[in-house]
Amino acid sequence: MNTTKKGFSDTVRRVVFGRSQAELLAEIDTIVPDRAAVSEEHVERARGVERLVTGTATSDGAGVKLTRVLTDDLQQRLDPFLMLDAFRSDNPGDYIGGFPDHPHRGFETVTYMIAGRLRHRDSAGNEGLLENGGVQWMTAGRGVIHSEMPEQEGGLMEGFQLWLNLPARDKMCAPGYRDLKSEDIPAFRTAAGAAVKLVAGRSHGVEGAMTREATAPLYADIALPAGAQFAQALPSQHNAFVYVYRGEVTVGGKRVAAGRMAILDNAADADGVRIAADSAPARVLLIAGKPLHEPIVQHGPFVMNTVDEIRQAVEDFRAGKFRAT
């Protein structure tokens, strides 16, 4: 996604976040069977909320309407994460155009589908169908051209795309692709009743589906019954945020409503985060990672470390070097 440097700012339609309590409780039951966490997380001092961010309604690809939550002005603050888009609509006009062929270089895309069907094809010969609860993790590396196109003519399409930076040493690695079905992603319930799908990282003694040594990402989808709490240990140096997409939660003493991102502080004496649902069920993404502390230079779908590297990426793309030979 993000086939252009900036989204189209004239789009005014926003993602709809409403859910009844019954629907949210039903979602929790579908996320994970009654599998208990291996262990509990111990958090002595929880992080606070440094800032609340409201996503911006925009469009991308062939007119797909979405909410850009993590924008380029937050890339240094939330290093190693570069972008987070949220999309949700049951109006096919909002998503049917999809994301036709477009290039990437220098980072990874992590697409998590809550509902709907999206077909991925790329210039490295990879293809996969992203469906309910599934994840596609693509490493652009030295360059890839891919498309993400709906395989449905109507109904709900909902999900997220996260951009994860690559360290300078890996930006020109070979492209890669992992297609993870919902059943391939570890899931568990905590003693407090939270249902967790763990795309990446480690939580409550459970290892996620993916890992990356350089950035040590944690990517957890957490569904909380009314009044339930969730605790997660985090190194204080890691950058982290919570994105609420159902209901309302309290993080670090601050209420965070659906459609808002809470950037967590990096207090030196903090050892984790606590998230609590209020009087209704809630669902959130908890995302954290080890910063790379490297220069970030972005031009549209290319993210490198220097302007010269960006120029080279543009030249290579125009010369057809992103396509398989």
Annotated binding residues for Fe cation, written as ranges, equal 102, 104, 146, 148
CA 112 to chain centre: 7
- Whether 213 and 243 have beta carbons less than 8 Å apart is answered as no
Residue with tokens 């930006």: 171
Q: Residue 175 in 3-state DSSP? A: coil
Write the CB contacts of 280 (distance below 8 Å, at least 6 apart in sequence): 21, 24, 226, 247, 248
Nearest to 113 by CA among 147, 144, 140, 148: 148
Residues 273 and 236: their CA atoms lie apart, in Å, by: 10
Q: Extract the annotated binding site.
A: 102, 104, 146, 148
41 torsion bin: left (phi>0), alpha (psi -120 to 50), beta (else): beta
User: How deeply is 9 buried, as exposed, middle or buried, from its count of CB atoms within 10 A (0-12, 13-18, 19+)?
Assistant: exposed
- Whether 240 and 51 have beta carbons less than 8 Å apart is answered as no
The residues that bridge with 232 in the sheet, in sequence order, are: 273
End-to-end CA distance of the chain: 24
